[in-house]
Amino acid sequence: MHTKLTVPIAANDFDMAKEQIKAAKAAGAEILELRADYLENLTPILVKKIIAEIKNSAGRPLPLLVTCRDKQQGGIIGYPDRLRVDVLTAALKAGADFIDFEYEKFFSVENQERIKVALSQSSKAMLILSAHNFETKFDNIVKLHRHIGTLYSAAIPKLVYTANHINDCFDAFDLLHSTGGERIVFCMGSAGLVSRIIAKKLNSFLTFASVDDKTATAPGQLTVEQFKKLYRYDSTNADTELYGVIGSPVAHSLSPAVHNVCFAEAKVNKLYLPLLVEGGKDEFDRFMDNILAREWLGFAGFSVTIPHKQNALDYVREKHGFIEPLAEKIGAANTILSGADGQLAAYNTDYAGALDAITSTLGISRSDLNGLSVAVVGAGGVARAIVAGLTDAGAKICIYNRTVKKGQKLADEFGCDFAPLGDLSRLDAKLVINATSIGMHPDIDATPIPHWCLKKDMTVFDTVYNPAETLLLKQAKEAGAKTIDGLSMFIGQAAAQFKLFTGKKPDTELMRKTVASYDLLW
């Protein structure tokens, strides 16, 4: 049996519940969870009425779970235990397939007897015994799981806790991996999001999704649409190979959308995840150690973004993995491959993405870059990757940067010229590249290069891709110059990663369309 996408009905009254039932069914829910603790003026009769509505509603009949959560375990209205048990037993009589009750409250002989009697009168219904920790990890999740099993062996244990860091999720993964039968295990919070997505690969009995952000019942809950369209829910199974973007923040990364749509198009059983790794080198190393210690998780490759590109290179070096020579020269990796034998390889596709964006727009090959005069504005991570790639191709570069020391250092390292930003007024290069964040949302009225410096015979490349058409590019077009946008570079680096992940060339037009369909101005 595969993991069921469960959508909570979290309504204050009957009419609101009716609307939510309709929306949840239309969205593609596989189980409905009636959260009775959201209902005002709660009575067993009201719950029975809503269950009758669910049973009689149009569309496929769906299994029904009824929960009346204790306030201390995240319930909304603090109803007394006696009423909560009345509601659950009434729900069983009305045909609920599952009821969820807090395992700690199941110690009470009265609660336990009443629930067991009601269950014995229902031929198929099952009890979920749940434990939540909204603060942090459980002290010993394995013991807790065993404990719930001994309390009532027919129960489905549900263990849900807040992950304060992605490294906290591994307790949940280990429990799912080491136990059989039906159990529900995942983590709450933004650091736990990944556990909700791979619950299906690891065969958790269910995972929760809301219809929209307004009806989410827990922190970090995704929508049904995100599960199905963005995270390939319908095609995920135990054999799905995992990939992801490691960074902080990653919530707005376009990479999951771009890679997953191309995985689907290439018909490969792969899933790409946002992997929020907060902290520095120690946290990054611990995350990678955790992944590599669990081959069964099936991670095969990673994109790496701010602030971990250097950590990624160092990690692969420390593990004696392969490092692409230009990635070594740049001092940063944005891609890691992890072979079946645990062998690691580090690459940098940022420079390749930039070079491909330049050569394809100008209709030239990389060898034509030899001797080309280029001005690079900026001396940060992106500038470094571009300078490394362009010097390797033989271009003649002048670096302009606000912080003179930093710009001069980069220029010395790669044998380039350096000039302060003020010298941009005498700009005389064939290719001009903005590798600063100037012009990026929300500062869209800013530009790093005064418009009078832009000339007709120039090509102007802005690495900023949010917005796709920056003020710099608008003014370059007005001056009659050719332009290259940051999206071309983003897609170029993603395409090179996709090739490393799959051995296949992606449909870059599909990548561009996918990016365009997202609201870039978050």
Give the residue with the Cβ less far from ligand NAP, 141 or 489.
489
- Residue 147 a catalytic site member: no
- Give the single-character DSSP code of 2: P
- Residue 15 a catalytic site member: no
Q: How far is the CB of 385 from ligand NAP (least distance, A)?
A: 8
Decide: is 387 part of the binding site for ligand NAP (CB under 6 A): no
Decide: is 463 part of the binding site for ligand NAP (CB under 6 A): yes
User: Residue 441 CA to chain centroid, in angstroms?
Assistant: 21
From the list 47, 27, 145, 137, the residue with the least C-alpha distance to 88 is 47
- Residue 132 a catalytic site member: yes
Q: Which stretch binds ligand NAP (CB under 6 A): 8-16, 251-259, 283-291, 431-439?
A: 431-439
Which one of 191, 438, 458, 511 is in contact with ligand NAP (CB under 6 A)?
438
Decide: is 465 part of the binding site for ligand NAP (CB under 6 A): yes
Residues 6 or more apart whose CB falls under 8 angstroms from that of 327 comprise 313, 333, 346, 347, 348
Beta strands in 287-379 (DSSP E): 299-304, 322-323, 335-338, 344-347, 373-377
Decide: is 401 part of the binding site for ligand NAP (CB under 6 A): yes
Region 477-516 residues binding ligand NAP, contact defined as CB under 6 A: 486, 489-490, 493
Q: How far is the CB of 436 from ligand NAP (least distance, A)?
A: 3
Give the residue with the Cβ less far from ligand NAP, 401 or 459.
401
Q: Which stretch binds ligand NAP (CB under 6 A): 56-64, 180-188, 294-302, 398-406?
A: 398-406
- Which helix (H) or strand (E) is 182 found in, with range? none
Decide: is 335 part of the binding site for ligand NAP (CB under 6 A): no
Query: Which long-range contacts link 282-285 to residues 24+ away (Cβ below 8 Å)?
Result: 283/165, 283/167, 284/246, 284/308, 284/311, 284/312, 284/315, 285/311, 285/315
Which one of 323, 379, 388, 390 is in contact with ligand NAP (CB under 6 A)?
379
Give the CB-side neighbour count of residue 317, counting CA atoms within 13 A: 13
Active-site residue identified among 137, 201, 309, 329: 309
From the list 487, 478, 434, 439, the residue with the least C-alpha distance to 460 is 434
Q: How far is the CB of 208 from ligand NAP (least distance, A)?
A: 34
Give the residue with the Cβ less far from ligand NAP, 204 or 305.
305
Q: Which stretch binds ligand NAP (CB under 6 A): 71-79, 201-209, 281-289, 378-386?
A: 378-386
Q: How many CB atoms lie within 10 A of CB 78?
A: 11
Give the CB-side neighbour count of residue 263, counting CA atoms within 13 A: 27
Ramachandran angles phi, psi of 141, nearest 5°: -70, -30
What counts of helices (H) and strands (E) characterise the chain?
18, 21
> Where on the chain is the footprint of ligand NAP (CB under 6 A)?
353, 378-383, 401-403, 406, 435-438, 440, 463-465, 486, 489-490, 493
